[in-house]
Structure 1
Amino acid sequence: MKILRFFTGIIIAGICLQACSKDDVASSGKDPYKDTVSPAILISKGGVLPDRGHINDEIIIRGKGFKAHQQELSILFNGQPGTLVDVTDSSVKVKVPVFASTGNITAQVGQQYFFGPFFRVLGAMETDTVYPSSRGADNFIQDIIPVEGGKFLIVGDFTNFDNANIDGGVNRVARINGDGTIDRSFRYGKNTGAPATVVRAAAMPDGRYLVAGSFASYEGLPYVSSIARLYNNGGLETENITRPSGKVQPVSALKGGVSGVVTGLHLQQDGKMIVVGYFRYYVKPNYNLVSVTGADSLHLDSTMVNFMARLHPDGTLDTSYNYDLVNHRGKEGVNGAINKSLFLPDGKVLIVGGFTKYNGQPAQRIARINTDGSLDPTFKSAEGANFPIYDVAQQPDGKFILTGLFNTYAGLAVPYIVRLMPDGSLDPSLQVGTGAEGTVYNINIMPQGQIILTGAFTEFNKVVRNNFVVLNPDGSVHTAYNTNGGINMGTNDVNAAFTKVLQLPNDHSMLAVGGFTRFDFRPCNRIVRITYQ
């Protein structure tokens, strides 16, 4: 056995030596590893004329070596091959293809790729370059709502906007003018705003504002539990109370809030507020207590409500909404997270997320809630999505579009996106092919029914798109609205999404906000104005 191993080792060593000798030194005496492979073609720096154009325009790319490789040459516009019109050794005339979008032109010869110059594809949806997007916010904008005078209220994680550099900061809440500049008549600076994220905003009929998120104080006042009401000038609405000692102190005008994060804030016509999110308790400070030493004391009273509650206009808990009067707590509600909610025209609320039950009844990641907080049995939610739903939007015709991690809905295979009829049944007319090559986080619906999807993806139905795509109402990729370069961020970054797209009235334009810093290869710090035809 030892002798066999010895001879086997000699044979293997000999084979290795022979192989190494042949690889290292060719018969000509040259080292094959030192041979250089010349590129098939060369593209001149800046060698595109013109450097911008529309779909079906003919452009010229300059360089050398094109003619010799004409049979295997492709000119790609963000992955889409253009039609070659004329090829010489030093230039290629090519027609800009359908679904081309702004970015670097690439030439392909067989398995070799050659990165070429930047080319801007002009189209029916463009970035408004006059709007001061580059001055924007220094951190996430979570929500934007229209307010009086053509202005907008924005909320989020930011501490500066429009490069205002106000002493003390622009703390999570700001009012901006229609031209994108900050409204300096609003209150900013030290001791204003919330010290943590503000996620949602609502405008009241009398000009006051509601803001909600994950904060525990506002303007330095404690026990402002994730929801606050503001005066029109941005200041926290307060009232004075008298403590047992006779001391008078200001407190939030809303008498209570929630312990956790509010992700949805909905204002009813009667002034009541529906809040949803990641919280288990309604909390209310009791200022009328005295310690054993006779000093003023305080206790934060709490009531279990499970992710969803309705408050009276004064901030007290509405116990007529999904509440167990016998056990003095909210009913069971959902058994998992609520990611998004819609306040519907009839006063009901549609919720989506990761839950599978509502008040013990089947509700597969979606449910419609009646005006008293009970589950609406007329909405088909027992057979919903097999995995969490991230977002939901309602079309002008009342149908709903959902997206998330699910790949089946009501037992049928779907590519992470689905459309429902108003009663919750599946609408098979939405056909998106293979869908997104990645994750779609947000949906927005344009006035004519076009669907805007944003998230962390690089393709949609085999069309290269950078985290942004516009679909026709039938689910096909819109041929005119996808020429822009999209959201230019990493595909694994959840910032590559619009948290809100606000259609502007009487104007073919919209304001989009989120966590992005570049759109269409232009600086856009968390806000951009987009025009469309």
Structure 2
Amino acid sequence: MKKLLLLTAGLGLAAAPTPGHRAAAQVALDPTFAPNAVYAPGGVFSIVEQPNGQRVVSGIYGRVNGTAATSLSRFSPTGILDAAFQQNVGAASGAFRVRLLANGQLLLTSSFGALTVGGLTRETLLRVNPDGTADTTFNPGTGPVSGSFTGFVDDFLPLPNGQLIAGGLFDAFNGTPAGGLVRLTATGAVDPTFSAGLGVGQNGDVEAIVALPNGQLLVGGDFDTYNGVACNGLVRVNPNGTLDPTFTAGLSPNSEVTNLVVQPNGSILAAGDLEIAGTVDGRGIVRLLPTGTLDQGFTPPAGLTAGTVAARYVGDAMQLQPDGKIVFLSRSGPGVSGYGRVARLNPNGTLDPTFQAGPGPDSRPRTITLLANGNVLTGGSFTDFNGTYDRSLVELTSAGALNPTFQPVLQINGSVASVVRQPDGKLLAGGNFSEINGQPVRRLARFLASGAPDASFAAGNALAASVVALALQPDGRVLMATTFGVQRLLTTGGADNSFTTFNIFSPTSLVLQPDGRVLVAGNQPLSNGAPLIRLLPDGSPDASFAPATSSGGARLRRVAALALQPDGRVLAAGTVQPGGGQADVATVQRLSATGAVDPSFVGLAFDNITFSPFSAVALQPDGKLLVAGNFGGYGGTPRPNLLRLNPNGALDAGFVPPTITGFVSTVLVQPNSRVLLGGSFTGAGLPANLARLLATGPADASFGPTAVPNGSVRALLVQPNGAIVVGGSFSTLGGLSAQALARITAPNVLAMRAPGAVAARTEVWPVPARTNLTVAPDASARPQALDLLDLLGRTVRHQALTSAAPVTLPVADLPAGTYLLRVSYAEGFVARRIQVQ
């Protein structure tokens, strides 16, 4: 059999020296990659209408109708931004719930801690004058405290005399003991004459407060005692804060009341996660008589079950019309008992068919407000309302139709979560964005090598859900995981109807196998009962891959990140239930190609974890695994937020990165084995948010702080010429404009080629290969590893080398085509295209 010499001419890894090779170069934004203006839909928390018809809105956004605006804005009835009000508000932050006071002022709460309006900062509560300037005369001091933590004010009720009732999760307010309920004077001081005493008890949360005509209060929330007396999430309180014992709500102690409305006849509409006393059914909305007795004549649809109707801590979930009908928000989606997420009930609770909002929004709104003209405003973080895209604040007519004359555009900076490179050098970027350079481009875009958007790729114009992960097939088709599922696109961006869309809520990871099958992971059981499934090339579930689903033994509960070994085994970072009644642990588990647990992988528990401890895993050519996220260590050894495991799952004690504070979102092994990190972090000797480590873990001093992103990095990609593509939620790099996607140049990115003499002594046969490929490395150059990569750069075969003995790689099961064989030596590498037939 004829032997062929393996030459160094080949694919991009063997390209001529580039900026990645210049040791003297510094990390810098690539001036040949054009910056783009990338924006995404903002979010709405709360809405009030002023007597003159203007609408005041709080939320998360950075601009409105193309003008800089943050957190608190006012609109005309046609959606025009009030520029004078916005100028007075200034760089506001933290505004959450907003209420209108009788004198025209506005009162705001923050979502957590301090809020700022008009240059004034206050803790949790802040009062604003009618023109948008801050009222300096109102000061709640240190605000709510729960134990040793900052508490919350979830709802508040302005009183006619200028005082204020505030409720939430706290056991003290401005240093005064108060159990979740307090009365403040017109200047923000605690009123000691209000005797809430112990209030709702430890860990109790007040979420809704309404006034009764006689001065009493209805107080709802998640609590089971008030001033030491057992109750059920809803109490009536006297004007001085003492409990009214004559009122007993017809709810069970398990109920959580999130919204309250009092009807003119004194009856009470309560919404939330409600359990009915004496029954086993739960309801989302009930009506109580003024005494608290359940009104059996109020019969809402059966689909309005407990927890279906709720808007916690933000705006209101239901509003009462003058005719007695009730508009409400629902968690339920289209097709559930005949209503969408915005609907209306008749006075007796039955569904009102004359209100037709259609499917409504693609996610539950946060707030609904009844306008004086009979229309309703609703807002949230939805991106599609009956085919109207990227409007998080909409007005509906009294019949439920969208009002086209009110469509303000609230936006935040866009973000990129995943980037892949096509063979022609174009980049596909997916994430959360709806506009690029003033043009609608929704969630997925293709960019030319120059950085300019590719207008010929139009897939993003129809996507409502954010893109979580991307994978590029060898034929150019695009696999995409969005917050609603997995689908495939044609090379032009059109939907690939030959692929069955796989529905899953919020997938976390997507991996394309060399054989065309697709691994999909999530934080909940999928259609196979496990949080990890494999799809066939047509999108249908692969029954041959069956991870454990029973609680009898170790099984995955949640999976946050995946890596595929060349031998087909799967590494999954997530939460595992060990079985035998043991508590769940955060760890890495290895599965066989059929989904069975691999007992040879030790998989110890991670320490000091958060709810989502893992963000990314990266498999090195030598079989070691980098694990990144938000954790403290592994098996008792401190390793905050980044570590490396040996191929058997044991901690690699030789990899010791700097102490990292924050979280690492993405990790990438460069061709020269140095490690790129992206996220929201700081560390000793590391630039913030984007850094690089040497192969053994120390900070790489050649990757300096000259291109630091001002926000989180979520995606990294090394181009064949050594340039680094960076995606995330930043707006500048190194002080220069770069929104969501940028390209940087840096030294020490690409691996160095071995001398020509080493290549001449490296042999491979046969070429082309059909069943096996044999490689005889050069003994004098200290061979380290063999890797066979497909055209997308994915390792399909890996073999560690400990000697120069010939090694045989099986290739019979690989798809026919062109591959790159790379032989790594201590002095560098040699590479060549290999044809498999």
Aligned to 2:166: 211
Deviation for aligned residue 1:272: 1.4
Aligned to 2:218: 274
Aligned to 2:743: none
Aligned to 1:388: 308
Asked if the contact 1:255/1:314 (under 8 Å) is kept, the reply is: no
Residue number among 252, 257, 260 corresponding to 2:199 in the alignment: 257
Letter in structure 2 aligned against 1:276: G
User: Relative to structure 1, is the Cα distance of residues 219 and 163 closer, same or farther in structure 2, using a 3 angstrom cutoff?
Assistant: same
Asked if the contact 2:301/2:350 (under 8 Å) is kept, the reply is: no
Structure 2 runs not aligned, ≥5 long = 1-10, 12-34, 42-63, 68-75, 311-316, 414-431, 433-463, 467-837
1:179 and 1:163 map into 2 onto residues whose CA distance is 11
Aligned to 1:177: 129
Aligned to 1:232: 186
Residue number among 439, 462, 466 corresponding to 2:364 in the alignment: 439
User: Relative to structure 1, is the Cα distance of residues 492 and 232 closer, same or farther in structure 2, using a 3 angstrom cutoff?
Assistant: farther
Aligned to 1:464: 389
Superposed counterparts of 1:322-471, under 5 Å? 322=248, 332-333=251-252, 335-360=254-279, 362=281, 364-381=283-300, 383-386=302-305, 388-390=308-310, 391-407=317-333, 412-471=337-396
1:420 and 1:320 map into 2 onto residues whose CA distance is 30
Asked if the contact 1:140/1:158 (under 8 Å) is kept, the reply is: no
Letter in structure 2 aligned against 1:162: V
2:301 and 2:337 map into 1 onto residues whose CA distance is 14
1:277 and 1:408 map into 2 onto residues whose CA distance is 28
Deviation for aligned residue 1:143: 3.4
Structure 1 runs not aligned, ≥5 long = 1-23, 25-44, 47-77, 79-100, 105-121, 240-251, 284-301, 324-330, 494-533
Deviation for aligned residue 1:268: 1.4
Asked if the contact 2:270/2:287 (under 8 Å) is kept, the reply is: yes
The C-alpha deviation readout for 1:98-134, integer Å capped at 9, x for no partner, is xxx9679xxxxxxxxxxxxxxxxx9922111111365
Deviation for aligned residue 1:264: 0.6
User: Relative to structure 1, is the Cα distance of residues 102 and 362 closer, same or farther in structure 2, using a 3 angstrom cutoff?
Assistant: same
2:130 and 2:118 map into 1 onto residues whose CA distance is 17
Residue number among 88, 93, 111 corresponding to 1:138 in the alignment: 93
The C-alpha deviation readout for 1:59-78, integer Å capped at 9, x for no partner, is xxxxxxxxxxxxxxxxxxx9
The count of aligned residue pairs is: 344
Asked if the contact 1:279/1:307 (under 8 Å) is kept, the reply is: yes
Asked if the contact 1:143/1:199 (under 8 Å) is kept, the reply is: no
Deviation for aligned residue 1:430: 1.6
* SS of the residue 1:131 aligns to: helix
Aligned to 2:229: 303
Letter in structure 2 aligned against 1:126: I
Asked if the contact 1:444/1:451 (under 8 Å) is kept, the reply is: yes
1:213 and 1:413 map into 2 onto residues whose CA distance is 34
* SS of the residue 2:225 aligns to: strand
Deviation for aligned residue 1:270: 1.7
Deviation for aligned residue 1:155: 2.8
Deviation for aligned residue 1:233: 2.0
Letter in structure 1 aligned against 2:159: M
The C-alpha deviation readout for 1:194-219, integer Å capped at 9, x for no partner, is 64211222222333221111111012
Asked if the contact 1:186/1:233 (under 8 Å) is kept, the reply is: yes
Deviation for aligned residue 1:235: 1.1
1:305 and 1:334 map into 2 onto residues whose CA distance is 6
Deviation for aligned residue 1:137: 4.3
2:79 and 2:291 map into 1 onto residues whose CA distance is 43
Letter in structure 2 aligned against 1:128: D
Deviation for aligned residue 1:418: 2.0
**RMSD (Å) for aligned C-alpha atoms:** 3.8
Superposed counterparts of 1:178-193, under 5 Å? 178-189=130-141, 191=142
Deviation for aligned residue 1:228: 0.7
Deviation for aligned residue 1:367: 0.1
User: Relative to structure 1, is the Cα distance of residues 306 and 408 closer, same or farther in structure 2, using a 3 angstrom cutoff?
Assistant: farther
Letter in structure 2 aligned against 1:388: T
User: Relative to structure 1, is the Cα distance of residues 475 and 486 closer, same or farther in structure 2, using a 3 angstrom cutoff?
Assistant: farther
2:395 and 2:321 map into 1 onto residues whose CA distance is 14
Asked if the contact 2:330/2:340 (under 8 Å) is kept, the reply is: no
2:366 and 2:330 map into 1 onto residues whose CA distance is 7
Aligned to 1:503: none
The share of aligned pairs that are identical, in percent, is 23
Deviation for aligned residue 1:460: 1.2
User: Relative to structure 1, is the Cα distance of residues 492 and 459 closer, same or farther in structure 2, using a 3 angstrom cutoff?
Assistant: closer
1:382 and 1:419 map into 2 onto residues whose CA distance is 11
1:275 and 1:136 map into 2 onto residues whose CA distance is 34
